[in-house]
Structure 1
């Protein structure tokens, strides 16, 4: 269970955060939330697909594996990709909103959090370290990026551009795997959209994100290769 509290330099003056990557630090993630402005960088590494939330909305995610708890990018204590989703990079910090004010919180139950190892969050006299300033920038970029998700996915739904898919995988050892419950861009439907609709999508900044998401699906082949090496 998460235990988020408002970050402050009195109660958390000795707080340190481990920045290494590995399952011990909570990186054994199958996927991570992303947003349209991030697709440009993430599509070089990860398949970007969509999932339905409990309230029936849709959200884009970057895939790291084919089953819960599997991150095929973790390799001997390192993350084998140059770009991480900001929703992963910001951990163990998160943003809380009070009215119009954004406030940084920290999950004290996150395995990265401690007082003896890792990057210090505050300076001895109470000021922010460079590490915390970098996390503040990451959190702000993530918060701003996530504001676009609802409009983006609504535009996809309005134009019937999301379709469910099932991905069956046979590994080199003969084992069968299936990825289901996700959605991707319907390329045939996209090709049928008229110029006016495409212009609206482009003006909203969504068209490039759509093509980046489509291009990212080529990473499924590399993800299968990673799975075969693990097997």
Structure 2
């Protein structure tokens, strides 16, 4: 249901190229009217800063495995996105996670021997290139305003990623994550609910057993609010299920015979 990306390149990216004034001094970046990279993507990585907004739109779960990441579920099955059409049209008034909004750019290390991060882009995106329309990436050999803004956006994303890692570590150190399971009954098949697994969630029983002094600390530093944003959002799993069924992308009812 919600596995962390395992490919050598990050989710969405088919290739990565470092941006520089020598090779891309005359290139432009154009805005996308459709998010084709989101089509068919059911789980999008999140940072903790996004939990309050995301919980209004999507279920927030954690990927399986030893190194879980928070994910916004836009569908319950691989290849299904109930909020973005096949041609990349995004539903109106929908919150898009920062991970998706930064595309086709990201910060990446160019060398394993150096921890410095460079602004890179996916040259296959069709959003950055040597075309006339769009906004210049460089002005007089220097990063343009739009490039600087994207660099700052990506830097904030990386910083949020560090805070997200600290949040996950706190969950793990206190043994608050457990394997998740959701059973959804559909009219006409109440005796055979559809069961979704393959994700992690906060164990509410263990949360209730946490010492009061720790809970007070978590309440002051905002940790507890993030936990409850995740827990409250889980009710939306059934909403996403209903959307899948309505769109003909959900599981089929068993044959009456």
User: TM-score scaled by structure 2?
Assistant: 0.76
Conserved? CA contact 1:18–1:117, under 8 Å:
no
Give the superposition deviation at 1:59: 1.2
Show CA shifts across 1:125-176 (max 9, x none): 4454554344223212211110012221121122221111223445669797
| Corresponding residue for residue 70 of structure 2 | 60
Report the number of matched residues: 228
What is the aligned counterpart of 2:56 among 26, 35, 44? Answer: 44
| Corresponding residue for residue 169 of structure 2 | 154
| Corresponding residue for residue 99 of structure 2 | 87
User: TM-score scaled by structure 1?
Assistant: 0.83
Are 1:228 and 2:239 matched, yes or no? Answer: no
Higher relative strand content:
1
CA distance in 2, matches of 1:225, 1:117: 44
Determine which structure has more spread, i.e. the larger CA radius of gyration: 2
Q: Note closer, same or farther for the CA distance 1:127–1:202 as it changes in structure 2 (3 Å cut).
A: same
Show CA shifts across 1:64-85 (max 9, x none): 1112222111147432243211
Q: Supply the RMSD in Å over aligned alpha carbons.
A: 2.8
| Corresponding residue for residue 43 of structure 2 | 31
CA distance in 2, matches of 1:183, 1:191: 18
Question: 5+ unaligned residues in a row in structure 1: which ranges?
Answer: none
Question: 5+ unaligned residues in a row in structure 2: which ranges?
Answer: 1-8, 249-257
Are 1:186 and 2:197 matched, yes or no? Answer: no
Q: Note closer, same or farther for the CA distance 1:172–1:8 as it changes in structure 2 (3 Å cut).
A: farther
Moved over 6 A (4+): 172-176
Give the superposition deviation at 1:211: 0.9
